[in-house]
């Protein structure tokens, strides 16, 4: 299973195994990582699972689709590699990926 590192805003790090085919959001929820709220459970409707992909991994994580882009546009704290973690499907290539979480999802 690919191991993903989640870094909370306060610097707390979590190294967790996330199943291929699940989402970066699910990896956070299943490991009780608080920086992801995911109010809608992964339906791309709530925008409370924002994460910032480490720039070195941005290409592997891929680009946001149109629907996701529209939501991301509205964020006050959007960065170039911002994604909605529910829309990032985990692949074997993501082993070692680093993901940072914003201070707040609201």
Partner 1 sequence: MEVIDHVVIIGASHAAVQLMISLRQQGWLGGITVISDELHMPYQRPPLSKAYLDGSVEEGRLALRAPEMYEKLDAVFKLGHTVVAIDVATNQITLDTGEKIAYTKLALCTGARVRQLALPGAELGGVHYLRTMDDVKGIRQSAKNAKRAVIIGGGYIGLETAASLTKLGIKVTVLETESRLLKRVASEQVSEFYKRLHEEEGVEIRLGSKVVALQGDGQVRSVICDDDTYSDADMVIIGVGVIPNTELASEAGLVVENGIVVDEFAQTSHPDIVAAGDCTFHPNALLKRSLRLESVPNASEQAKAAAASLCGIKKAYSELPWFWSDQFDVKLQIVGISQGYTEAVVRGDTSRDRSFTVFYIKDQHIIAADCINRPKDFMMAKKLILQQSTIDVAALVDEGIDIKTLIN
User: Which residues of the chain form contacts with partner 1 (CB under 8 A)?
Assistant: 19, 26, 29-32, 34, 39-41, 43, 45-47, 67, 70-71, 73-74
Instruction: Please state the closest distance from residue 87 (CB atom) to partner 1, in A.
Output: 12
Instruction: Please state the closest distance from residue 2 (CB atom) to partner 1, in A.
Output: 15
Instruction: Please state the closest distance from residue 7 (CB atom) to partner 1, in A.
Output: 18
What is the Cα 83 distance to its own chain's centre? 6
Distance CA 13, CA 41 (A): 23
> Which residue reads 């946001």 in tokens?
64
Considering the complex, state which of residue 32 and residue 92 has its C-beta at the smaller distance from partner 1: 32
Burial label for 59, CB within 10 Å (0-12, 13-18, 19+), is exposed
Instruction: Please state the closest distance from residue 55 (CB atom) to partner 1, in A.
Output: 25
Backbone angles phi, psi at 80, to 5 degrees: -65, -30
Considering the complex, state which of residue 78 and residue 79 has its C-beta at the smaller distance from partner 1: 78
């Amino acid at each position: 299973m690919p191991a993903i590192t989640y870094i909370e805003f306060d610097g707390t790090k979590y190294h967790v195994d996330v199943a291929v085919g699940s989402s970066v959001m699910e990896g956070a929820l299943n490991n009780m990582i608080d920086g992801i709220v995911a109010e809608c459970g992964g339906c791309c409707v709530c925008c409370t699972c924002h994460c910032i992909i480490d720039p070195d991994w941005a290409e592997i994580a891929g680009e946001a689709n149109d629907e996701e882009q529209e939501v991301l546009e509205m964020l006050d704290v959007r960065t170039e590699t911002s994604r909605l973690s529910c829309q990032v499907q985990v692949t074997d290539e993501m082993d070692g990926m680093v993901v940072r979480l914003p201070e707040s999802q609201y």
